[in-house]
Amino acid sequence: MTEHRTLSVNGIRMHIAEAGSGPLVILCHGWPELWYSWRHQLSALAGAGYRVVAPDMRGFGDTHAPADADQYSILHTVGDMVALLQALDAERAIIIGHDWGAPIAWTAAMMRPDLFPVVAGLSVPHRPRASRPPLALLREAGMANHYWIYFQTPGVAEAELEADVETTLRRLIYGVSGDAPIDRENPLLVPEGRGFLDRVVAPVALPAWLQEDDIATFVAAYRRSGFRGGLNLYRNVDRNWELTAPWHGAKILQPALYIAGTRDPVIAGPRGQNALDHMRSAVPRLRTVMLEGAGHWIQQERPNEVNAAVLEFLRSPEVQKVV
C-alpha cells in the first residue's frame, strides 16, 4: 500500500509517496511528471522486498517550488536527494531516475557514491561534462530551435503550456511515446515563430497504457502548480555545466543500468547515438536494456518490462554486494 507524507528536505517541503520495506530505492521523476509516473514501480519494487520512495521533485506537484530559477541547479536537486536520505533516516539508497530525474540520479551517483552505490537511468543517458556549455553546443550544431533553447526565456513556455493544461499534457504524454506516428517531424525542435507543442502530435484516442484517470491526475496537479518549476531545470543547464567543473572527467563506477525505448526521440539519430557512446565510456559497469518500439515515457508505457529489467539488475551479484 502506498502512503503519502511531507518532509523537510534541504530547505523545502517535499511530498513523497512511499511503499514497502527493505533496502531503500529512490525514484526521481522528470518533466512534466509527478511521483505518479512511478505508480507501477512502487508496487512492484515494494512487493519484491524494497522500501520505495517516489518524491514530487523540487518545483513539481505538492513539493515546494522556489520562485527563483537559480534554486533549480543540479546542486540543489542532488542536494535534495542527499537530504531526503537523512529525512528518511537512511544511510544509502539505490537511486533511479527518468527524464530530468535521470541526470539527477546519474549526478548523485557521480558526486556521492558513498550514499548512492547503485544507479539506474531511464530514457536520458548520462552525459559526461563537455568542453563547452550545452546551449552553445546546440547552437553550434545548428539546433538553435531546440526546445531547451525555447524554454530559456521565463514566461514564454509557461504561457503556451498553461493556456490549456489538459491539451498540453495529452499532447506531451502521447506525442513522444512509442504510440505516436513514426512519420513526423522531430518533436524536440520548435518551428521558427511557433510553439513547442506545434510538432507534438495530439492523440485521437489514448493508448492502452494511459487511462483518463491518469491524465486527470497530471492535469489536476499542473493546474495547481503551473509548469514553471520544471521549466526552471532547463534554465540551469549552462549553469550546471559551470557548477560541475570539479567533476569534469569523473566516471560513475557503481553498478549502473540504462533502459530506453528504441522510439524515444531523446536518443534518436546521430546525436543520440553519440550520447550513448559517451555514456558507455564514462560508466564502465553499465548494463543497457533497449525496449523495441517503446517511446519516452518508458516506465508507464512498458511497466512490466521495465520492472523486470530493474529487478533483474537489483538481484544481480554485483548489486547485492553493495546494497
Cα 149 from Cα 116, distance rounded (Å): 31
Would you call 76 a catalytic residue per the annotation?
no
Q: Show the beta-strand stretches assigned E in the chain.
A: 3-9, 12-19, 24-28, 51-55, 94-98, 118-122, 256-261, 286-291
CA dist 281 and 284 (Å) reads 6
Which of 196, 173, 180 lies closest to 31, judged by CA? 173
Do the strands 24-28 and 51-55 form a parallel or antiparallel pair, or are they unpaired?
parallel
One-letter amino acid identity for 113?
P
Cβ atoms < 10 Å from Cβ of 192:
7
Q: Which three three-digit cell numbers place residue 169?
A: 499534457
**What are the b/e assignments for 270-285, b being 16+ CB within 10 Å?**
eeeeebbeebeebbee
**Among all chains, which residue has been given the C-alpha cell 504561457?**
159
Catalytic residue at 99? yes
Residue for cell digits 527493505?
Answer: 22
Q: Which of 62, 99, 179, 264 is catalytic?
A: 99
Helix, coil or strand: residue 114: coil
Instruction: Transcribe 159-215 into DSSP letters.
Output: HHHHTTHHHHHHHHHHHTSTTS-SSS--TTBPPTTS-GGGGSPPPSS--TT--HHHH
State the catalytic residues.
99, 296
